[in-house]
């Protein structure tokens, strides 16, 4: 009886683990099914009915003609270049300005530091729709309308990025900072040579968030770029234009949506290896 009890507990634990994995797998399938359906629709030939019931999950005659038609009919190369340029610029500017703003808030002592940080974090609760009109008026007065600078202006830095980098900087051991200061390193040198290498996982995380946010941003580019030539549109605006022009053929719309998703997946796969936490105190001996 005493030996059977541990076996029963182990079996129950295994059943709970199996049930948990099954539940997580079902949730993952439910979340991935729309993406799978999008890829399947983009690969279907014109003779296949995408609205038939029961739905046909796999295309009978897979074809890349939808992607070719979208690429040749609309200036998707321009859309892709515009979105890539703006997304990379947004990522670079955020990594620079957010880390510069977060360093004194995390490592330096001055009057009003906590108040400034609280005010920065409080701006996260302000919806973008509230500041959208003042930003547009500012952009127009600066003469930046219908330009990429108008798209970049609200994205130079983010309160979330400052918060994330401040928390990462606070986790760096003070011994590394003190050793660099004894060696004669300036505050800017400490930030660049000590802090930045120690918080690479946080930088990679911020880069992924900002890239996805910039790549999928639709409302603000629509406001500031709508009056310009279509060749200056970003990819979300291009997909919306495609949906308006090809609404009767959802295969082409699905192909355009797939083209807009692939760069995000590629960027995440490149940077996800750097998200693994590193031992920032590995250079400190006890």
As to burial, measured by CB atoms within 10 angstroms (0-12 exposed, 13-18 middle, 19+ buried), residue 212 is middle
Q: Would you place residue 282 in the very low, low, confident or very high pLDDT band (cuts 50, 70, 90)?
A: very low
pTM greater than the 0.85 cutoff:
no
DSSP SS3 for 94 = helix
Res 1 pLDDT > 60:
no
Structure tokens at 123: 């701006």
Res 245 pLDDT > 70:
no
Phi, psi of 139, deg, nearest 5: -65, -45
Q: Would you place residue 285 in the very low, low, confident or very high pLDDT band (cuts 50, 70, 90)?
A: very low
> What pLDDT digit, counting tens, does each position of 131-141 carry?
999 999 999 99
Q: What kind and span of H or E run contains 267?
A: helix 250-271
- Residue 49: CB atoms within 10 A of its CB come to 9
Phi, psi of 161, deg, nearest 5: -65, -40
| Cβ atoms of residues 225 and 146 within 8 Å | yes
- Please identify, in words, the CATH class of the domain defined by 74-274: mainly alpha
What is the residue-averaged pLDDT of the chain?
Answer: 86
**pLDDT (0 to 100) of residue 257:** 86
Spell out where 114-227 has E strands. none
Q: What kind and span of H or E run contains 250?
A: helix 250-271
Domain locations in the chain? 4-63, 74-274
Per the document, the length of the chain is 286
Name which of 96, 89, 211, 102 is nearest 149 in CA terms: 89
CA-based end-to-end distance of the chain: 50
**pLDDT (0 to 100) of residue 169:** 94
Phi, psi of 228, deg, nearest 5: -90, -175
Name which of 269, 148, 154, 146 is nearest 213 in CA terms: 154
């Amino acid at each position: 009886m005493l030996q059977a009890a541990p076996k029963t507990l182990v079996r129950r634990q295994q059943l709970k683990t199996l049930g948990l994995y099954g539940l997580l797998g079902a949730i993952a399938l439910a979340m991935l099914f729309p993406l799978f359906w999008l890829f399947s629709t983009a690969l279907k030939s014109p003779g296949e009915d995408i609205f038939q019931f029961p739905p046909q999950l796999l295309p009978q005659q897979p074809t890349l003609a939808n992607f070719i038609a979208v690429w040749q009919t609309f200036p998707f190369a321009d859309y892709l270049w515009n979105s890539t340029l703006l997304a990379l610029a947004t990522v670079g500017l955020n990594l620079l300005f957010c880390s510069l703003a977060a360093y004194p808030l995390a490592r330096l002592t001055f009057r009003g530091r906590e108040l400034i940080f609280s005010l920065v974090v409080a701006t996260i609760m302000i919806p973008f729709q509230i500041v959208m009109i003042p930003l547009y008026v500012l952009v127009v007065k600066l003469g930046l309308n219908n330009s990429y600078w108008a798209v970049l202006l609200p994205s130079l830095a983010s309160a979330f990025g400052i918060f994330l980098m401040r928390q990462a900087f606070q986790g760096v051991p003070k011994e590394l900072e003190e050793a660099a200061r004894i060696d004669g390193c300036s505050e800017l040198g400490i930030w660049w040579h000590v802090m930045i290498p120690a918080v690479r996982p946080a930088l990679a995380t911020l880069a992924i968030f900002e890239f996805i946010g910039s790549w999928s941003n639709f409302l603000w580019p629509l406001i500031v770029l709508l009056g310009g030539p279509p060749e200056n549109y970003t990819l979300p605006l291009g997909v919306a234009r495609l949906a308006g022009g090809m609404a009767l053929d959802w295969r082409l719309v699905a192909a355009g949506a797939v083209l807009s998703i692939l760069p995000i997946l590629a960027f995440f796969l490149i940077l996800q290896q750097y998200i693994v936490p590193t031992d920032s105190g590995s250079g400190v001996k006890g």
